[in-house]
Amino acid sequence: MKAALLPPASMRRLLPEQKRRAAPWIVGLMTFVSLVVGVAGLAVLGAVTDLSSSAAGRWSLQVTGTPADAARAEALLRSTPGVTSVDRVPDQELRKTLRAWLGPASEQLDLPLPVLADVKVTGGGQSAASRLAREVPNARLTPYSSELAPLLDTLRGLAVLVAGLLIVLAAALAGAVTLAARATLDTNRSTLDVLHGIGATDEQLLSLVQRRIALDVLAGSAAGALAAAVVLIAALIPARGLLGGAAGAPALAAGGLALLALLPLLQAVLATLVARRALQQALAQGL
Partner 1 sequence: MGLRYGTGAEVLAGLDLRLASGGFYFLTGPSGAGKTSLLKLLYLAQRPTRGRLRLFGEDVGEAPREALPAFRRRIGVVFQDFRLVRHLSAFDNVALPLRIAGYDDREIEGPVREMLAWVGLADRASARPPTLSGGEQQRVAIARAVIARPELLVADEPTGNVDAAMADRLIHLFEALNRLGTTVVVATHDLSLIGAVKGARMMRLENGQLSDPTGELRNPPTRMPEESQP
Q: Which is nearer to partner 1, 140 or 196 (CB)?
A: 196
Rule CB under 8 A: is residue 190 a binding residue for partner 1? Answer: yes
Task: Using CB under 8 A, pick the residue from 8, 81, 248, 255 that binds partner 1.
Answer: 8
Binds partner 1 (CB under 8 A): choice among 103, 112, 150, 199: 199
Q: Which is nearer to partner 1, 93 or 193 (CB)?
A: 193
The answer to whether 208 contacts partner 1 (rule: CB under 8 A) is no
For partner 1, which residue of 105, 109, 198, 233 counts as binding (CB under 8 A)? 198
- Rule CB under 8 A: say whether 206 interacts with partner 1: no
Q: Judged by CB under 8 A, does residue 202 bind partner 1?
A: yes
Q: Counting contacts by CB under 8 A, is residue 193 touching partner 1?
A: yes
Does position 10 interact with partner 1 (CB under 8 A)? The reply is yes
> Within 13 Å of residue 252, how many CA atoms lie on the same side as its CB?
21
209 touches partner 1 by CB under 8 A: no
**Residue 52 touching partner 1 (CB under 8 A):** no
Site for partner 1, rule CB under 8 A: 8, 10-11, 13-14, 16, 190-191, 193-202, 204, 284, 287
